[in-house]
Amino acid sequence: MKSNQPSALNLIADIGGTNIRIALADANAEQKFTHIETYRCADFTGLSEILALYISNQGFHDKTINACLAIACPTDQDIISMTNLPWQFSQKALKTELNLSSLSFINDYTAIAMAIPLLNEQQKVQIGTGKAKTGMPISVCGPGTGLGVANLVNINNQWHCISGEGGHVDFAPVSDEEIQILASLKKIKERVSYEQLLSGYGLEQIYTALVEIDQVDAPAKLSAQQISESAKNASCATCNKALDTFCKVLGSFAGNLALTSNSQGGVYIAGGIVPRFIDYVQNSQFRARFEYKGRLSNIPKSTPTFVITEPQPGLLGAAAYILQQQSQ
């Protein structure tokens, strides 16, 4: 429903395990949000304390406030328990305590997905060819701490996010080498999902498996950052091979999303890992594996793939969500 409070403020936030970013959604602003402030979560006892401080510092305590908060945990129950922080709170109690006119919590990947239709050419980098078809579904996946996945569908010119746990589907190796990597991981994992390869921890597991498979004289373990940096500067053949494998598997997984949701509006890569080595991805087998889908290769071949480079996709998506809700 359209807001009957034209003077109300739309407070948005992107809540992570380390930082929380808070701003105001503004349909007329170039970035769709203003008044951004960042707080370290460790400096506070809970979410309410941070939001109250922001409202006070901005002089908004006497304003009507609607809020949309993106958070990296399930939001379908009143009680929210954060995954990476010892914070637990009631959505209803938070709304009352802060005297909010309305309060919506959305999953962090819902926010990232909702941001996609607002991205301009400076906020994304295309990998390979393909042109987005207007109004067609959009998919996003993001290797980071885990592997987030979400899909957008357009219904009556309104974007709706279908979220889930797509990163936890079974890993399906394509090459003989990936079959060997799967066998190596099966020695320590009862079940291997795509997240076990497409995450920071996943890149480390790929590297460790390759050290074992190739029996090379190399450190048994390296951090994801060490692996990616060594691959970029070509100082370690096994690191290079690990990052190559990561890009191939990511291409296969992203192509699966394109087929599953017919995502001819585009498949987007988010998360904190891939934007660090976009040039490497562009020169990798990512796009070839994305398109390698047998009889139905025509679908991914015509589907564009992008890496999101916007530094605040969570805030942008929260702004998109609350502004769309008020336009209905």
Backbone angles phi, psi at 8, to 5 degrees: -70, 145
164/199 Cα distance (integer angstroms): 17
Residue ranges at the known binding site for ATP:
13-18
Backbone angles phi, psi at 126, to 5 degrees: -80, 140
Q: Is residue 37 within a helix (H) or strand (E), and if so which, with residue range?
A: strand 33-40
CB 9 within 8 A of CB 51: no
What SS3 class is residue 267?
A: strand
Residue with tokens 């569908």: 153
Q: Is residue 256 within a helix (H) or strand (E), and if so which, with residue range?
A: helix 237-261
Residue with tokens 């393909």: 130
| DSSP H stretches of helix in the chain | 47-57, 91-97, 108-115, 176-186, 200-214, 224-232, 237-261, 278-282, 286-291, 298-302, 313-327
Angstrom distances, CA of residue 276 to CA of 117, 149, 231, 279: 23, 19, 12, 9
Residue ranges at the known binding site:
13-18
CB 125 within 8 A of CB 307: yes
146/233 Cα distance (integer angstroms): 26
Residue among 18, 19, 24, 7 at smallest CA distance from 67: 24
Task: Count CA within 13 A, CB hemisphere, residue 62.
Answer: 1
- Alpha-carbon torsion 68, 70, 318, 300, what sign? negative
